[in-house]
């Protein structure tokens, strides 16, 4: 007799802020990933959101406040929750939690939580900047809680500054990281990352500005979600993510050899290939064993084309395996132009979808702004951390994989 793995459970608590309208979106995103969501609301939250909305989305009765008849409800909720997520968390709630108060069901549940507590602050920028709030935040971080945001932007009053609650996608991604939902269990993933470097001599080389952070983020999140991951990396100054097998490759030809070794001659050693590396288009025709000396004369260096690794793999695929993800780093001004370039790459390289972004948004940063472009749709994102964007890429890839059985099971629970 088979038994379905226990689902991860998130207690989603809502406090009294206008940003409460984003909480149902967080609930929906978590439910889409197979997470059980139990919702709580403070009395103040009722002025901004109806409990029926959360009940309808989660399939669970929404609990409001603590009354004399609730008994040990906070103990029960604290015991079942792999994560208690307070979305939004007001300045008043942060202050009460930092003081260890338990004067409503949400605060009491946080104090009784066996799992992680995640807080998504939302308030006016001056409230966030106040020394008292910052002291409370420091205390909560010292207590081991996770804080997501806030972000810089426009708040309800029309003022701008640091205090706007993070977007639902970023909050849901942070919650899933706390859960370490293993929805890619059994999926074999190969990721390329970083630049290729083509040597002219022992001192000089031809390269590009890629740091490898995006590809490493994809490898890190894929491994955390249960995949078996091989990372083919160009020369970068990054640590290998936990649980990832890393193969270093300096130039395009070395990366090509490592990639084909990881995939196998029939491309049957991987279910998903994410081509995040910025492979140079050209290399020097001749590599010199000694440093070229300056002569004072003009110097002409001949370049020859490198193989197009993405196009090669796309042409080799007999069907739809492995799922193939390409990247398009462009300098296009408008999103429309960026999408057009991505569509061309989608067709020319025969890939399943393209992650399209601008060089100015991507290189050397810890965040990114990208469009996920397939033949049928364009999925846009604001600025996300590269780890959060990696999860969105893997979500889309998982959908492409999901018609089969690979990685399609429910989350197996939290990391505890």
Q: Please tell me which residue, 381 or 198, carries the higher pLDDT value.
A: 198
Render pLDDT for 281-298 as a digit per residue (tens, 0 to 9): 889 898 899 888 888 889
Taking the C-alpha atoms of residue 343 and residue 337, their distance in angstroms, rounded to an integer, is 10
Give domain status of residue 3, yes or no: no
Statement to judge: residues 265 and 336 lie in one domain = yes
Give domain status of residue 2, yes or no: no
Q: Are strands 188-193 and 228-233 parallel, antiparallel or unpaired?
A: parallel
Q: Quote the number of domains for the chain.
A: 2
Give domain status of residue 173, yes or no: yes
Full DSSP string of 56-87 = HHHSSPPEES--TT-TTHHHHHHHH-SEEEEE
| Percent of the chain's residues with pLDDT above 70 | 90
Statement to judge: residues 212 and 93 lie in one domain = no
What's the CATH number where 392 sits? 3.40.50.10300
pLDDT at 407: 36
- Encode burial over 327-361: b for 16+ CB neighbours within 10 A, e otherwise: bbbbebeeeeebbebbbebbeebbbbbbbbbbeee
Active site annotation includes 208: yes
Query: What band does 231 get if pLDDT is binned at 50, 70 and 90?
Result: very high
- The conformation of residue 186, written as its DSSP 8-state character, comes to T
Statement to judge: residues 162 and 305 lie in one domain = no
Render pLDDT for 183-202 as a digit per residue (tens, 0 to 9): 888 999 999 998 888 888 88
Render pLDDT for 145-173 as a digit per residue (tens, 0 to 9): 989 888 887 777 778 888 889 888 888 88
- The conformation of residue 212, written as its DSSP 8-state character, comes to S
State how far Cα 349 lies from the chain centre.
25
Can you give the C-alpha Rg of the chain in angstroms? 24
Statement to judge: residues 286 and 385 lie in one domain = yes
List the domain range (segments joined by +) for residue 355.
188-401
Pair 80, 9: CB distance under 8 Å: yes
Average of per-residue pLDDT across 362-367:
66
CB atoms within 10 A of CB 61: 11
Taking the C-alpha atoms of residue 58 and residue 316, their distance in angstroms, rounded to an integer, is 44
What's the CATH number where 94 sits? 3.40.50.1950
Q: To which H or E segment does residue 162 belong?
A: strand 160-164
Q: Is the pLDDT of residue 409 over 80?
A: no
Numbers of helices and strands, H then E, in the chain: 14, 22
Using alpha carbons, list the distances in angstroms from residue 218 to 277, 281, 361, 367, 404.
11, 23, 17, 13, 22
Give domain status of residue 408, yes or no: no
- The conformation of residue 389, written as its DSSP 8-state character, comes to H
Q: Is the pLDDT of residue 120 over 70?
A: yes
Give domain status of residue 411, yes or no: no
Using alpha carbons, list the distances in angstroms from residue 285 to 197, 251, 282.
14, 13, 9
Q: Which of 136, 208, 237, 368 is catalytic?
A: 208
Taking the C-alpha atoms of residue 86 and residue 77, their distance in angstroms, rounded to an integer, is 13
Which segment of 50-54, 232-236, 274-278 scores lowest on mean pLDDT?
Answer: 50-54
Statement to judge: residues 213 and 163 lie in one domain = no
Statement to judge: residues 120 and 159 lie in one domain = yes
Statement to judge: residues 171 and 30 lie in one domain = yes
Statement to judge: residues 305 and 169 lie in one domain = no
pLDDT at 365: 67
pLDDT at 6: 52
Q: Are strands 303-305 and 282-284 parallel, antiparallel or unpaired?
A: antiparallel
CA dihedral 219→82→148→154, nearest 10 degrees, is 120
């Amino acid at each position: 007799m088979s038994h379905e793995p226990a689902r991860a459970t998130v207690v989603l608590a809502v406090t009294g802020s206008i940003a409460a309208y984003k909480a149902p979106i967080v609930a929906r995103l978590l439910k889409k990933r197979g997470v059980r969501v139990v919702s709580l609301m403070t009395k103040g939250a009722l002025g901004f959101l109806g409990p029926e909305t959360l009940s309808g989305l989660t399939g669970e009765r929404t609990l409001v406040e603590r009354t004399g008849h609730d008994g040990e409800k906070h103990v029960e909720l604290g015991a079942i929750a792999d994560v208690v997520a307070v979305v939004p968390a007001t300045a008043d709630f942060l202050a009460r939690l930092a003081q260890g108060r338990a004067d409503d069901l949400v605060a009491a549940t946080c104090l009784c939580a066996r799992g992680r507590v995640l807080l998504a602050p939302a308030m006016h920028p001056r409230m966030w900047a106040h020394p008292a709030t910052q002291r409370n935040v420091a205390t909560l971080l010292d207590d081991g809680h996770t804080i997501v945001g806030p972000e810089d932007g426009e708040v309800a009053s029309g003022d701008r500054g640091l205090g706007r609650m993070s977007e639902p996608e970023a909050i849901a991604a942070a919650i899933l990281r706390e859960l370490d939902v293993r929805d890619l269990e059994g999926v074999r993933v190969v990721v390329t990352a970083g630049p290729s470097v083509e040597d002219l001599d022992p001192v000089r080389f031809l390269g590009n500005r890629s740091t490898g952070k995006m590809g490493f983020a994809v490898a890190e999140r894929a491994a955390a979600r249960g995949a078996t991951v091989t990372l083919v990396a160009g020369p970068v100054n990054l640590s290998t993510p936990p649980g990832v097998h890393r193969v270093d490759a300096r130039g395009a030809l070395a990366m090509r050899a490592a990639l084909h070794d990881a995939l196998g001659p029939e491309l049957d050693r991987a279910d998903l290939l994410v081509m995040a590396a910025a492979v140079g288009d050209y290399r020097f025709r001749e590599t010199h064993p000694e440093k070229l000396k300056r002569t004072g004369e003009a110097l002409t260096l001949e370049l020859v084309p490198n193989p197009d690794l993405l196009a090669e793999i796309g042409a080799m695929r007999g069907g739809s395996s492995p799922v193939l993800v390409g990247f398009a780093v462009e300098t296009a001004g408008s999103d429309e132009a960026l999408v057009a370039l991505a569509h061309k790459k989608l067709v020319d390289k025969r890939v399943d979808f393209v992650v399209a972004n601008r060089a100015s948004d991507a290189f050397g940063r810890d965040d990114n702004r990208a469009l996920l472009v397939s033949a049928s749709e364009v999925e846009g994102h604001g600025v996300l951390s590269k780890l959060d964007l990696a999860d969105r890429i893997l979500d889309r890839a998982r959908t492409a994989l999901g018609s089969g059985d690979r990685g399609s099971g429910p989350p197996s629970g939290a990391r505890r």
